[in-house]
C-alpha cells in the first residue's frame, strides 16, 4: 500500500512546484519553494536515502530558502519581461515533450538495475566506515568531495568580488533590516545550543549512521545565522585571519592528506592502512568547519562597506 | 505502482515544470526558482536510479546518493551566487533611479 | 627543463598536479598582502605552465596516454584522470594563455604602491584566474562524468564573477544572464549523466563507451548533455549571453573567457561525439551540429560587422569563430583518411583562435586605456599611440581571416581540403564566406586605426610591456601557420581511449 503514501507526497510536490513558478508575490513563491524542499526531504526517506533527505532539508530547502528570501525582498527592482501566448504554448509543448521522454526513460530503465552497491559493500570494510555514503564521499570518490569544498570557496569569492576589495575587511550587511525582537532572541537562545549539538552529532555520527560533513556543516551554519539574526553575535568581519583560515582549512587539509598519500600510501588521496579512520575523521573535522563557515558566509553575502 | 516508479514519474514532471519555468519566467527570481525545481527533479531521477540499485545490504545504491549530496551543495552555491548578483543589480538599479524621488511605499 | 620535470615526476603526479597546483594561489591571496600575493600567484601560474609542458612532453615521449586512478580506486567505483594527445594539447594551450593573462594583468613593477593603484587587478581576479586554471585542467583530464560536472560548475563559478569585476550595472546584468545560461547547461548535462548511470551503472566515459548502444535512453542522455554544452559554448541560437558578458569584463578577463573558458564545453562535445557515442549515431547527428555552426559563423560575423564598439565586435567574432569547431564534426566522425586532417584542422583552429582572440582582447583593452573609450568610429590614429598593440590586433585578425602565414590559414586549408575530398561543398562555402566576413570586420578596425587623426589625440600612457604580451600571443597564433600540412600524430596519441595497460 505504498501508493497511498507516495501518491499524496508526489501530488503535494507538484502543487508546491507549480506555486513556486507561478507568478505573484515573491515571498509566496519562495515559501512554496521551501515547502518543496521539505516534501522532497520526505520523498528521499521513501527512497531509502536518509543522508540525502537530511541534506535536502538542511541545504536544499533550508539554507537555499533563506538566500532566496533575501532576493524576494529585492524583487520590486527586478525587470519583468513579457512573453507572448505563443511562446507560452511552445514552452508548454517542449516541457510536455521533456516529461514524456524522461518518463519513458525512467519506465524503461534496465532490469535488473545496474548498481555499484556490491562494489561499495566489498570495499567498505577497508575504510573502517559504517556509512556507505560517507565512504563514497570521503574515500572512493574523494576527488569530487575535495573539489566540492573548493567550489564552495570559489562561489564565496565570487560573491565577495561584487564588492570592491578595499571593503573585503568589512562586515556583510545585516540579514534582517528590523531590530531583533524579544521572541527571536529567546528562540535563538534556546535553539542555537541545541542546534550546535545536533550539527556536531550529525557530523560525528556520519561515519557510521546517516549524517556527515555536509549535513553537520549546514546545521552549524544555520545556527550561526540564527544567532546573528537574533543579535546574539555580530556578523563577522571578513578580513579576519581566523575566519579565512577556517575557510581554507577544509580544502587544504584534504589536499594535504591527499598529497601525503603519495608518500605514505600508494596514490594521491589514498589513506595509509592502520590510520585510515583517524585520518578520515581529521579530514571530516576540517571540511565540516569550512563548509559551515562557507555556507553561512554565502548566505550573508558580500561585504557592505561598514568598517570592522 | 512501486515507489521508484511513482517518484521517477514525479522527477520527470518536476524537471518539465522547471524547464517550463525557466523558459517563461517573468523575472530573474522566477528563473532561479525554476532552475532549483529542475535540479530537484534531476536529483530525484538519480534517487530513483539509486533505489532501483538497492542490494548488498544497502537500501539504495550509495554512489548516486553521495553524488546527489554533492549536487545539492553545488546547486546551493549557484543559487547563492545568483542571489548576490540579483541583489547587487537591485541596488544598482535603485541608485540609477536615485535622482528622482523614491516612489511611495518604500521604506 | 620541462622534459627533465616530466621524467622526474611520476605520471600520476603530473596529472593530479595539473589540477591541484593552481589552487595553491588561493591561500596567499586570502592571507598575504596584495602585492606579495599577486607575485606569488604569477609564480604559481608559471609552475602550472611547467607542469602542463612536462605532461605534454611525457605523453609525446611515451607515445601513449598517461592515466591514474584517484586513491587507487579503479572505475567504476573510483575516478580516473587520463591525458591523451588531445588533452595534453589543450592543457598546454590553456596554460600558455592563462600565464600570459597573468603577466598582462600584473601590476607594473615599481608602480606607486597606492592603496588602490589605478589599473591594479583586485585579489578576486587572481583567485578566479587560479580557479579557472584548475577547473579547465580538470575538464581536460577527468574521465568521469560527475567529476566533469563538478569541474564545469567550478569553471562557471570562477568565470561568471570575472564579467562584473568593475561592478557596473550592465556588467552585473550580463553576469547574471551568463550564470543562468551556464546553470541551465550544467543541469541538462547532469540529467544526461544521471540517465547514463541508470543505464550502465558507471559514469566512467571509457566504460560507458564500451557498453553503450544507440538505445533511446542513451540518445536522450547524449542530446541533453550536448544541448547543455551548446548553451555553455554559446552556439547559435544560444549565443545571446556571450557578447555582453565577454565585452563587459576587464580586458584580461575577456581574454581568458573568450580564448579558453569557452573551449571547455567544446572539448567535452568532441569527447561525447567521438569517444562516447556509437559511430553511426555520431555520423547521423554531426550535420545538425555543423548546420548550427554554419549559422553561428554567418550570423555572428554579420552582427560583428555592425558593432559600434571594439570589444563588442571582438565578442561577436568569438560567437562566430566557435562555429568552425562545429563545422568540423561531419568531417571528423566519418571513417575516411581525410577525417584525421579535418580533426587536426579543427584542433589547430581552436588553438590559433585562443591565442589570437586573447591577443585581440588585450590589444583592444590597451587601445581603450590609451583613448579612454573603445568606440570604433573614434579609433582613428590609435596606431600611433599603441603601435605594438595594433600590430598584435592585426596579426590576431590575420589568423581569424585565415590569411597566410597565420595559424588560422593552415587550419582552414586543412578543413577545406577535408571538406572538398569528402564532397561537403556547403561546408567549404561557409568556411570561405566566414573568412571574407572576418576580413571585413578586422580590416575596418585596422584601417581606421592607421588613419591620421582629424585632431591631435589626447592619449594616456600605457605600460609598454603589456603591449608586448599581447604581441607575443598574436605571434604564437601566427606561428601555428608553420606546422606541416598533414594530420598531427601527437593529437592521436592514446586514441581510441582505453584504460588498458595505462595504470599498473
Sign of the Cα pseudo-torsion (C29, C31, C35, C40, in order): negative
The pLDDT mean for chain C works out to 90
Cα dihedral C391, C397, C402, C405 in deg (nearest 10): 10
Report if residue C342 sits inside a domain. Answer: yes
Strands C66-69 and A303-306: unpaired
Please check the confidence at residue A289 and state whether its pLDDT lies above 80: yes
| Range name among C120-134, C185-199, C448-462 with the lowest pLDDT average | C448-462
The reported pTM is: 0.95
| Contacts of A among chains (3+ CB pairs under 8 A) | B, C
Report if residue A186 sits inside a domain. Answer: yes
Mean pLDDT of A34-57: 94
- What cell was used for C197? 548511470
- In this complex, do C183 and B64 lie within 8 Å of one another by their Cβ atoms? no
The top-scoring range by mean pLDDT among A169-178, A230-239, C166-175, C399-408 is C166-175
Does one domain contain both A67 and A126?
no
Does one domain contain both A144 and A40?
no
Domain count, chain A: 2
pLDDT of residue C140: 97
Of C217 and B95, the one with more pLDDT: C217
- SS3 annotation, C482-496: HCCCCCCCHHHCCCC
Please check the confidence at residue C112 and state whether its pLDDT lies above 60: no
Confidence of residue C111 (pLDDT cuts 50, 70, 90): low
Report if residue C468 sits inside a domain. Answer: yes
- In this complex, do C187 and B39 lie within 8 Å of one another by their Cβ atoms? yes
pLDDT of residue C403: 85
Mean pLDDT of A21-43: 91
Please check the confidence at residue C455 and state whether its pLDDT lies above 90: no
Q: Which residues, at least 6 apart from C353, have a Cβ–Cβ distance to it below 8 Å?
A: C259, C321, C322, C324, C399, C400, C408, C477
pLDDT of residue A79: 67
Q: Which residues in A240-255 are b (16+ Cβ under 10 Å) and which e?
A: eeeebbbbbbbbbbbb
Q: Which of B37, B68, B69, B105 to mutate to test the interface with A (most CBs of A within 10 A)?
A: B69
DSSP secondary structure code for residue C69 in this structure? E
Mean pLDDT of C200-224: 93
Does one domain contain both A306 and A182?
yes
The pLDDT mean for chain B works out to 89
Rounded to a whole number of angstroms, the distance from the CA of C235 to the nearest CA of chain A is 20
Q: Which residues in C455-485 are b (16+ Cβ under 10 Å) and which e?
A: eeeeeeebbeebbbbbbbbbbbbbebbebee
d(CA C321, CA C421): 23
pLDDT of residue C143: 95
1.10.287.3510, 1.10.8.10, 3.20.20.70, 1.20.1730.10: CATH of B3-97? 1.10.287.3510
Domain count, chain C: 1
pLDDT of residue A60: 85
Report if residue A198 sits inside a domain. Answer: yes
pLDDT of residue C160: 96
- In this complex, do B63 and A114 lie within 8 Å of one another by their Cβ atoms? no
pLDDT of residue B105: 39
Name the helix (H) or strand (E) containing C54.
helix C34-62
- In this complex, do C187 and B45 lie within 8 Å of one another by their Cβ atoms? no
Backbone angles phi, psi at C34, to 5 degrees: -55, -45
Q: Is A251 on the interface with C (CB under 8 A)?
A: yes
Please check the confidence at residue C451 and state whether its pLDDT lies above 50: yes
Contact residues, A window 95-134, toward C, CB-based 8 Å cutoff: 101-102, 104-106, 108-110, 113-116, 119-120, 123
- In this complex, do A77 and B15 lie within 8 Å of one another by their Cβ atoms? no
Rounded to a whole number of angstroms, the distance from the CA of B82 to the nearest CA of chain C is 7
Report if residue A94 sits inside a domain. Answer: no
Name the helix (H) or strand (E) containing A199.
helix A182-205
**pLDDT tens-digit map of C284-337:** 999 999 999 999 999 999 999 999 999 999 999 999 999 999 999 999 888 888
Mean pLDDT of C351-355: 95
pLDDT of residue A54: 93
pLDDT of residue A179: 61
User: Residue A164, Cα to own-chain centre: how many angstroms?
Assistant: 27
Q: Which of C323, C352, C219 is nearest to C277 (CA)?
A: C219
Of A235 and C453, the one with more pLDDT: A235
pLDDT of residue B107: 33
Task: Give, in degrees to the nearest 5, the angle at Cα C121 between C116 and C122.
Answer: 70
Q: Does the bond joining C496 to the residue before it have cis omega, within 30 degrees of 0?
A: yes
* Residue with the three cell numbers 604580451: C469
Share above pLDDT 70 across residues of chain B, in percent, rounded to a whole number? 91
Confidence of residue C35 (pLDDT cuts 50, 70, 90): confident
Of A161 and A77, the one with more pLDDT: A161
Confidence of residue C119 (pLDDT cuts 50, 70, 90): low
Confidence of residue C113 (pLDDT cuts 50, 70, 90): very low
pLDDT of residue C2: 53
Report if residue C401 sits inside a domain. Answer: yes
Please check the confidence at residue C141 and state whether its pLDDT lies above 90: yes
Does one domain contain both A280 and A190?
yes
| Contacts of B among chains (3+ CB pairs under 8 A) | A, C
Q: Does the bond joining C237 to the residue before it have cis omega, within 30 degrees of 0?
A: yes
Sign of the Cα pseudo-torsion (A41, A300, C121, C250, in order): positive
d(CA A124, CA A127): 5
Range of the domain at A289: 122-308
- What cell was used for A109? 530503465
Report if residue A92 sits inside a domain. Answer: no
* Residue with the three cell numbers 536522450: C220
Interface of C with B (CB under 8 A): 77, 146, 149-150, 153, 156-157, 160-161, 164, 167-169, 172-173, 175-176, 179-180, 183-184, 186-187, 190-191, 194-195, 197-198, 201
Please check the confidence at residue C152 and state whether its pLDDT lies above 70: yes
For C160, the closest of A158, A261, A268 (CB atoms) is A158
Report if residue C204 sits inside a domain. Answer: no
**pLDDT tens-digit map of A188-197:** 888 888 889 8
pLDDT of residue C89: 96
pLDDT of residue C109: 62
- In this complex, do C161 and A161 lie within 8 Å of one another by their Cβ atoms? yes
| Domain boundary residue, one of A75, A108, A136 | A75
**DSSP annotation string for chain B:** --HHHHHHHHHHHHHHHHHHHHHH-SSHHHHHHHHHHHHHHHHHHHHHHHHHT-BTTBSS-HHHHHHHHHHHHHHHHHHHHHHHHHHHHHHHHHHHHTTSPPPTT--
Of B1 and A282, the one with more pLDDT: A282
**pLDDT tens-digit map of C214-248:** 899 999 999 999 999 999 999 988 999 999 999 98
Mean pLDDT of C184-201: 96
d(CA A272, CA A278): 11
d(CA C132, CA C253): 11
DSSP secondary structure code for residue A62 in this structure? I
Range of the domain at C355: 309-504
Sign of the Cα pseudo-torsion (A155, A159, A165, A169, in order): negative
- In this complex, do C180 and B28 lie within 8 Å of one another by their Cβ atoms? yes
Q: Is B46 on the interface with A (CB under 8 A)?
A: no
d(CA C358, CA C154): 22
pLDDT of residue B102: 45
First-residue to last-residue Cα distance in chain A: 59
Cα nearest neighbour of B25 on chain C: C180
For C70, the closest of A158, A166, A269 (CB atoms) is A269
ipTM associated with this complex: 0.94
Phi-psi region of C457 (alpha: psi -120 to 50; beta: other; left: phi over 0): beta
Q: Which of C160, C197, C204, C223 to mutate to test the interface with B (most CBs of B within 10 A)?
A: C197
Amino acid at each position: 500500500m505504498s501508493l497511498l503514501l507516495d501518491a499524496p507526497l508526489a501530488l503535494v510536490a507538484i502543487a508546491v512546484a507549480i506555486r513556486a513558478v507561478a507568478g505573484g508575490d515573491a515571498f509566496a513563491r519562495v515559501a512554496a519553494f521551501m515547502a518543496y524542499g521539505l516534501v522532497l526531504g520526505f520523498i528521499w526517506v521513501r527512497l531509502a536515502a536518509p543522508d540525502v533527505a537530511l541534506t535536502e532539508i538542511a541545504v536544499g530547502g533550508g539554507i537555499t530558502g533563506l538566500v532566496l528570501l533575501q532576493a524576494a525582498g529585492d524583487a520590486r527592482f527586478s525587470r519583468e519581461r513579457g512573453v507572448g501566448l505563443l511562446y507560452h504554448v511552445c514552452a508548454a509543448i517542449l516541457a510536455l515533450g521533456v516529461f514524456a521522454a524522461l518518463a519513458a526513460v525512467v519506465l524503461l530503465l534496465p532490469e535488473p538495475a545496474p548498481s555499484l552497491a556490491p562494489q561499495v559493500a566489498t570495499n567498505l570494510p577497508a575504510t573502517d566506515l559504517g556509512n556507505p555514503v560517507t565512504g563514497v564521499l570521503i574515500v572512493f570518490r574523494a576527488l569530487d568531495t575535495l573539489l566540492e569544498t573548493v567550489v564552495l570557496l570559489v562561489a564565496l569569492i565570487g560573491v565577495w568580488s561584487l564588492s570592491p576589495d578595499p571593503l573585503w575587511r568589512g562586515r556583510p550587511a545585516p540579514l534582517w533590516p528590523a531590530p531583533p525582537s524579544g521572541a527571536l532572541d529567546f528562540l535563538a537562545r534556546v535553539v542555537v545550543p541545541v542546534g550546535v549539538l545536533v550539527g556536531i552529532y550529525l557530523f560525528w555520527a556520519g561515519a557510521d549512521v546517516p549524517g556527515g560533513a555536509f549535513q553537520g556543516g549546514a546545521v552549524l551554519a544555520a545556527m550561526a545565522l540564527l544567532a546573528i539574526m537574533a543579535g546574539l553575535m555580530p556578523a563577522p568581519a571578513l578580513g579576519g585571519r581566523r575566519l579565512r583560515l577556517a575557510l581554507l582549512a577544509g580544502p587544504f587539509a584534504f589536499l594535504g592528506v591527499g598529497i601525503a598519500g603519495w608518500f605514505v600510501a600508494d596514490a594521491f588521496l589514498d589513506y595509509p592502512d592502520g590510520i585510515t579512520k583517524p585520518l578520515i575523521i581529521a579530514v571530516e573535522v576540517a571540511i565540516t568547519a569550512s563548509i559551515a563557515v562557507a555556507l553561512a558566509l554565502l548566505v550573508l553575502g558580500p561585504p557592505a562597506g561598514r568598517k570592522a | 505502482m512501486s515507489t521508484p516508479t511513482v517518484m521517477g514519474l514525479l522527477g520527470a514532471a518536476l524537471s518539465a515544470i522547471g524547464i517550463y519555468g525557466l523558459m517563461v519566467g517573468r523575472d530573474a527570481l522566477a528563473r532561479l526558482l525554476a532552475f532549483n525545481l529542475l535540479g530537484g527533479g534531476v536529483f530525484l531521477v538519480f534517487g530513483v536510479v539509486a533505489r532501483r540499485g538497492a542490494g548488498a545490504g544497502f537500501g539504495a545504491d550509495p554512489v548516486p546518493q553521495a553524488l546527489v549530496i554533492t549536487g545539492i551543495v553545488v546547486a546551493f552555491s549557484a543559487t547563492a551566487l545568483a542571489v548576490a548578483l540579483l541583489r547587487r543589480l537591485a541596488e544598482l538599479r535603485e541608485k540609477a533611479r536615485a535622482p528622482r524621488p523614491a516612489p511611495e511605499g518604500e521604506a | 627543463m620541462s622534459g627533465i620535470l616530466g621524467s622526474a615526476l611520476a605520471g600520476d603526479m603530473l596529472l593530479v598536479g595539473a589540477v591541484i597546483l593552481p589552487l595553491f594561489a588561493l591561500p596567499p591571496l586570502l592571507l598575504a598582502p596584495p602585492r606579495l600575493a599577486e607575485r606569488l600567484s604569477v609564480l604559481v601560474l608559471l609552475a602550472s605552465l611547467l607542469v602542463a609542458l612536462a605532461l605534454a612532453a611525457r605523453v609525446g615521449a611515451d607515445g601513449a596516454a598517461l592515466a591514474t586512478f584517484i586513491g587507487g580506486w579503479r572505475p567504476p567505483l573510483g575516478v580516473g584522470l587520463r591525458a591523451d594527445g588531445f588533452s595534453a594539447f589543450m592543457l598546454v594551450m590553456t596554460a600558455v594563455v592563462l600565464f600570459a593573462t597573468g603577466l598582462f594583468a600584473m601590476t607594473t613593477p615599481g608602480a606607486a604602491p597606492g592603496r588602490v593603484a589605478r589599473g591594479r587587478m583586485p585579489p578576486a581576479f587572481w583567485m578566479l584566474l587560479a580557479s579557472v586554471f584548475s577547473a579547465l585542467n580538470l575538464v581536460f583530464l577527468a574521465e568521469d562524468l560527475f567529476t566533469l560536472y563538478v569541474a564545469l560548475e567550478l569553471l562557471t563559478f570562477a568565470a561568471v564573477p570575472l564579467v562584473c569585476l568593475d561592478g557596473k550595472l550592465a556588467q552585473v546584468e550580463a553576469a547574471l544572464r551568463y550564470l543562468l545560461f551556464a546553470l541551465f547547461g550544467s543541469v541538462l548535462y547532469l540529467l544526461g549523466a544521471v540517465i547514463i548511470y541508470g543505464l550502465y551503472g558507471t559514469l566512467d566515459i571509457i566504460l560507458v563507451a564500451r557498453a553503450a548502444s544507440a538505445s533511446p535512453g542513451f540518445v536522450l542522455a547524449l542530446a541533453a548533455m550536448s544541448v547543455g554544452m551548446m548553451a555553455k559554448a554559446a552556439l547559435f541560437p544560444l549565443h545571446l549571453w556571450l557578447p555582453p558578458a565577454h565585452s563587459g569584463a576587464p580586458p584580461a578577463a575577456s581574454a581568458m573567457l573568450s580564448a579558453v573558458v569557452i573551449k571547455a564545453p567544446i572539448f567535452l562535445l568532441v569527447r561525447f561525439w567521438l569517444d562516447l557515442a556509437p559511430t553511426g549515431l555520431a555520423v547521423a547527428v554531426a550535420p545538425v551540429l555543423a548546420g548550427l555552426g554554419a549559422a553561428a559563423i554567418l550570423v555572428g560575423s554579420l552582427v560583428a560587422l555592425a558593432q559600434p564598439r571594439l570589444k563588442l565586435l571582438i565578442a561577436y567574432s568569438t560567437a562566430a569563430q566557435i562555429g568552425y569547431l562545429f563545422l568540423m564534426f561531419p568531417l571528423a566522425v566519418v571513417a575516411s583518411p581525410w577525417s584525421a586532417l579535418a580533426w587536426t584542422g579543427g584542433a589547430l583552429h581552436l588553438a590559433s583562435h585562443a591565442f589570437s582572440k586573447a591577443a585581440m582582447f588585450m590589444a583592444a583593452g590597451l587601445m581603450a586605456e590609451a583613448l579612454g573609450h573603445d568606440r570604433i568610429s573614434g579609433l582613428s590614429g590609435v596606431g600611433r599611440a599603441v603601435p605594438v598593440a595594433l600590430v598584435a590586433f592585426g596579426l590576431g585578425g590575420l589568423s581569424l581571416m585565415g590569411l597566410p602565414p597565420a595559424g588560422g590559414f593552415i587550419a582552414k586549408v586543412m578543413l577545406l581540403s577535408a571538406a572538398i575530398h569528402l564532397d561537403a561543398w556547403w561546408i567549404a562555402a561557409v568556411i570561405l564566406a566566414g573568412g571574407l566576413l572576418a576580413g571585413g570586420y578586422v580590416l575596418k578596425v585596422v584601417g581606421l586605426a592607421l588613419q591620421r587623426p582629424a585632431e591631435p589625440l589626447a592619449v594616456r600612457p600605457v605600460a609598454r610591456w603589456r603591449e608586448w604580451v599581447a604581441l607575443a600571443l598574436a605571434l604564437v597564433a601566427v606561428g601555428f601557420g608553420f606546422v606541416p600540412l598533414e594530420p598531427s600524430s601527437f593529437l592521436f596519441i592514446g586514441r581510441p581511449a582505453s584504460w588498458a595497460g595505462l595504470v599498473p
